[in-house]
Amino acid sequence: MTLGNRIKQLRNAKGLTLAKLGEQVGSGASYLSQVESGTIPSPGMVVKLATALDAEPADLLKLACAEKLEQLAARVKQRYLGKRR
């Protein structure tokens, strides 16, 4: 499961709109929509989201870190391993 999917799942379970969640965490609905679609927020925002959604911050941070590592690995592979072919 991705961070965005988990946030959307938690938000829907609490019956919150993107706008309402945005009010709680100090962010706009459009940015939160981007997060649910794959943008990785800052660690501070992840903690704010976890708090607002009654989730364990460490669990959401693990998802965010895993996605960041996947993105980094893909960039390294493309940049450095792709040139050898």
The CATH code that applies to domain 3-84 is: 1.10.260.40
User: Rg of the chain's alpha carbons, rounded to an integer?
Assistant: 15
Find the mean pLDDT for residues 20-48: 98
- How far, in Å, CA of 14 to CA of 35, rounded? 17
Residue 9 has pLDDT above 60, yes or no: yes
Can you give the pLDDT at residue 19? 98
pLDDT tens, residue by residue, 40-85: 999 999 999 999 999 999 999 999 999 999 999 999 999 888 765 5
- pTM of the model as a whole: 0.88
Q: What's the pLDDT score for residue 81?
A: 84
pLDDT at 37: 97
Conformational region of residue 56, where left means phi above 0, alpha means psi within -120 to 50, and beta covers everything else: beta
